[in-house]
Amino acid sequence: MLKPVVAITRPADRADKACKIVEDLGGTAILAPTLDLQPVNADSLKKLVEIKDSLDWIVFTSPTTIDSLNLFYPDFFNNLNSKIAVIGNKTGSLVKKQGVGVDLMPDDFTAEGLVEEFERNNIKNQVIGIPRTASARDTLPKGLEALDNEVIVAEAYKSLFPMDEKSVSELISQIENSQIDAITFTSPLTVKNFFKIADDKEKLADLLSNNLLTVCIGPITAKVLEEYNVTYIYPDKYTVPDMMELLFKKWRDSNGR
């Protein structure tokens, strides 16, 4: 049976699980990160750590934030009194590994979904800390502020342009030579950086739409693909495993397998 070749564009330190899922499902994974993540001990993060005991809630939107806190403040999760909200199963699982419970996690793994969950639970007039990357959308802090909460955003890591442009350029060449069956995107920046490296963006968008299967993790990433006129699919549940299950189902259906 033919094995689909699947391109993984997520950061290298977050790609092991995705690559393993591809292999377990019978495919071949090609890793070409279009985004790099770098933990930083920014002044805003230092301030947030100093006032953590006065926070009513802390929101974790990605595992990288937790990694950053563990790197710079190994005792951060000890005797943590604030309630915890997370976006996504992966982030929730990592929080629990710190010995801390998760108080709120939306079914919709997006900033919009978490804001709706706060509103549904009538969580207002709270002090909420959000350690994250500075390049993240302002949907979450603005949404929580609209519910009369005080929101303190801190930079815990940087989202960087890929340091290994060569691997992405090689991936684009493979796509042009019909050597890739599918490609996956797990965040808006993975899409934007991918197209920044491409010389002929229209040609690449056409190939992604017509020559291979383009799968993204959810509607927020999908909006960026739409900006480049790329045809895509995404799963009902916005997780990497669900994304890969959908990818392989569609690929097998289209190849009569």
**What pLDDT is stored for residue 257 in this prediction?**
61
pLDDT, averaged per 10 consecutive residues of the chain (257 residues), comes to 89 90 95 95 97 97 95 94 94 95 94 96 97 92 97 96 91 96 96 95 97 96 97 95 96 81
Tell me the pTM: 0.88
User: Which SS3 state, helix, strand or coil, does residue 113 take?
Assistant: helix
One domain, residues 15 and 48: no
**For residue 64, how many other CB atoms are within 10 A of its CB?**
24
Running DSSP on this structure, what letter comes out for residue 233?
Answer: B
Query: What is the Cβ-side half-sphere exposure of residue 176, based on CA atoms within 13 angstroms?
Result: 13
Q: Look at the alpha carbons of 252, 236, 162, 15 in this order and tell me if their dihedral is positive or negative.
A: negative
Total tally of structural domains belonging to the chain: 2
One domain, residues 85 and 146: yes
Angle at which helix 201-210 crosses helix 165-176, to 10 degrees, equals: 60
Residue that finishes a domain, picked among 109, 131, 160: 160
One domain, residues 210 and 249: yes
For residue 102, the enclosing domain spans 38-160
One domain, residues 21 and 55: no
One domain, residues 81 and 130: yes
Q: Determine the Cα–Cα distance for residues 28 and 51; give it in Å rounded to an integer.
A: 47
One domain, residues 25 and 74: no
One domain, residues 31 and 43: no
**What pLDDT is stored for residue 51 in this prediction?**
96
Residue of 227, 142, 237, 225 whose CA lies nearest to 183? 225
One domain, residues 59 and 138: yes
**What pLDDT is stored for residue 254 in this prediction?**
86
CATH number, domain with residue 98: 3.40.50.10090
